Structure 1
Amino acid sequence: MPRHEIRPGRLCAGTVLTATGVLYAGDAGGAWQIPWFVALPLVTGGLFLAGAVAFVAGRARRRRQTGGAGVDLP
């Protein structure tokens, strides 16, 4: 039994932000060259993706708690 709820949106956001940090750490270390503007679409797209994942996970969690599809058929 898990000690806490799994939050896939936060996992996604953390992964994208960590990847952005690794890219710029590599740039600072001289391993490769990354333009400054690469961070904007990475962070924006990652946060948008994390929001979408969190929305879907929240809907799935809410649907599972109610015990069904949420639609009453006659």
Structure 2
Amino acid sequence: MLRHEFQPGRLVGGVCLTVAGALYLGDVRGLWDIPWFTAIPLVVGGLFLAGVTTALTRAVRRKNSAEEEKAEPPARSSPPSGAHRSG
């Protein structure tokens, strides 16, 4: 059972920020030398990709919901009780 709706934009943003953090963690541990300005394109690029992913997801979901609304026949309502009484 899903507890919430899947949000791919947040996934992409989180992965990009995690990669940036992992790179700097490796730098702190002495595994490699990362210049200080490397974080700027990683974070900005990750946020851009997350925004694009979110926009595409929203567009696809709106299109699908519009198609579902067209496919469903309108609900027929019965007249309220007592509407056809002659008095």
Structure 1 and Structure 2 fold alike (TM over 0.5): yes
Query: Displacement, 1:3?
Result: 2.2
Aligned to 1:61: 61
- Cα RMSD of the aligned pairs, angstroms, is 1.5
* Separation in structure 1 between the aligned mates of residue 13 and residue 59 of structure 2, nearest angstrom: 18
Any gaps of 5 or more consecutive residues in structure 2? 69-87
Pick the structure with greater CA Rg.
2
Letter in 1 for 2:41: P
Q: Gaps (5+ residues) in structure 1? A: 69-74
Deviation (angstroms), 1:66: 1.0
TM-score, normalised by the number of residues in structure 2? 0.74
Give, in whole Å, the separation in 2 of the partners of 1:19 and 1:10: 14
More RCO (CA 8 Å, sep 6+): 1
**Displacement over 3 Å in runs of 4+:** none
Amino acid at match of 2:59: R
Alignment size in residue pairs: 69
Distance 1:38 1:26 in 2: 13
Provide the TM-score with structure 1 as the length reference: 0.87
Q: Distance in 1 between matches of 2:43 and 2:16?
A: 7
Tell me which amino acid in the other structure corresponds to 1:61.
R
Structure 1 residue 67: deviation in Å?
1.1
User: Taking every aligned residue pair, what percent have the same amino acid on both sides?
Assistant: 51
1:8-19 to structure 2, matched below 5 A, reads 8-19=8-19
